[in-house]
Structure 1
């Protein structure tokens, strides 16, 4: 709860001017989400090549035209999923508490990826830096907006771009912190589940004294019943059948 409160306060304390800068920068960088997303995704794989192991389509041979097109489609799909998370943050920038379920779910997903596909938490830092690089690139534009001789006036001044990058770094940090919290919570649950399973297996393989005493009691009870019940029928009965309701004296008298 304290971590969630910190997240809410971190984004909620953004001033109206901060939010204006974020919205202005987002309006620029989101003009072509597909180009932005694939650029970030490609850079992530350049900086962390081992991350490709998490995406089977990156490990296949795509030399033929049909397969190459399929890879391009899958690549774009996954890249857009990255950027859509940031888009959700911008949509909830005035009510950040609504983001918690999203980040918790993403953390749980990456927790499973950590166990099954080799996800490493430092990939998030790579994602953050690659995102900031492409955000700055988009804000500066193709004509290098810092150039005094630029033919068109920049929509954002250099100082506004710097401010935007500082703000985006904080937003991405909060996102990563919340996803990592979800990942850690998922790991704790999975660890607890494994311990329960391991304990049950160990109990089955190594009976406790209580289990041994129960077994002796059952054997003695069966021996007592064997006076009137043939062993053949006793052996057919399960060791787990309760014999408390049997009236031995009445059966002997019969």
Structure 2
């Protein structure tokens, strides 16, 4: 099994495998991206809660063309992260800030939209599935051994998938580090607020705080036609439990 500690530890052979396999799978980025995105929602339906265009009430019809455009736009954003890795594969120093920022962004999504870290694992597995599918289906495949156009053997496809799995694992590890960093900052901020509450028992949440919580709850309940109620309840409970507990302590 190939194990890499970071993008910078890739060997020249590793990079050749990644470049050649990427040349195959990236020939139609839109199809690749939307296929991965659709599979993510199939495997994790509650992930739809994070995307406003997936939350529109389908009973009203809506603008299907606009919804399709938004779906494609967000799907391409997923795959562009991998594209960034390939663009920086020889000088990966610039990737660390990217991964950290993405992790911090998802930390905020965790609090506001119900992001769960296992979505990254779902993303990785769906990506690997479609990468393998693309390599198997390509009619003019690159031969990893010679970098010439030829049919990839099953073992060469397996080698590419093993390496891509490690690259995705490194990406997720670095993004998760950014997420944990954001969580520590949020916890420190909550501790400060709790300390203020102890010193000032008359302190109450601002109308803006209350409205944000109310809007979040309402938005999740409006999604029942898209996401099974079980997932909505689970996401809502996980997101709101902490806020409700703080609010109840303040009002008591």
Same fold at TM > 0.5: yes
Deviation of the 1:205 alpha carbon:
2.4
TM-score by length of 1: 0.71
State whether residues 36 and 130 of structure 2, in contact with CA within 8 Å, keep that contact through their aligned partners in structure 1: yes
Specify which of 54, 57, 61 is matched with residue 61 of structure 1: 57
Matched, 1:128 2:110: no
Specify which of 16, 19, 22 is matched with residue 20 of structure 1: 16
- The structure whose RCO (Cα within 8 Å, separation 6+) is larger is 2
Q: Distance in 2 between matches of 1:39 and 1:23?
A: 21
Relative distance call for 1:202 and 1:110 in structure 2 (3 A) is same
Deviation of the 1:155 alpha carbon:
4.0
**Match of residue 114 from structure 2:** 118
**Match of residue 150 from structure 1:** none
Deviation of the 1:56 alpha carbon:
1.8
Q: Distance in 2 between matches of 1:74 and 1:63?
A: 19
Deviation of the 1:97 alpha carbon:
2.1
Gaps of 5+ in 1: 1-5, 146-152, 207-254
**Match of residue 38 from structure 2:** 42
Q: Distance in 2 between matches of 1:120 and 1:137?
A: 27
Map 1:1-254 onto structure 2 (within 5 A): 9-62=5-58, 67-141=63-137, 154-205=150-201
Q: Distance in 2 between matches of 1:63 and 1:81?
A: 28
Deviation of the 1:54 alpha carbon:
0.8
Deviation of the 1:12 alpha carbon:
2.5
* Alignment size in residue pairs: 193
Q: Distance in 1 between matches of 2:167 and 2:138?
A: 25
Larger radius of gyration: 1
Relative distance call for 1:10 and 1:101 in structure 2 (3 A) is closer
Gaps of 5+ in 2: 142-148, 203-252
TM-score by length of 2: 0.71
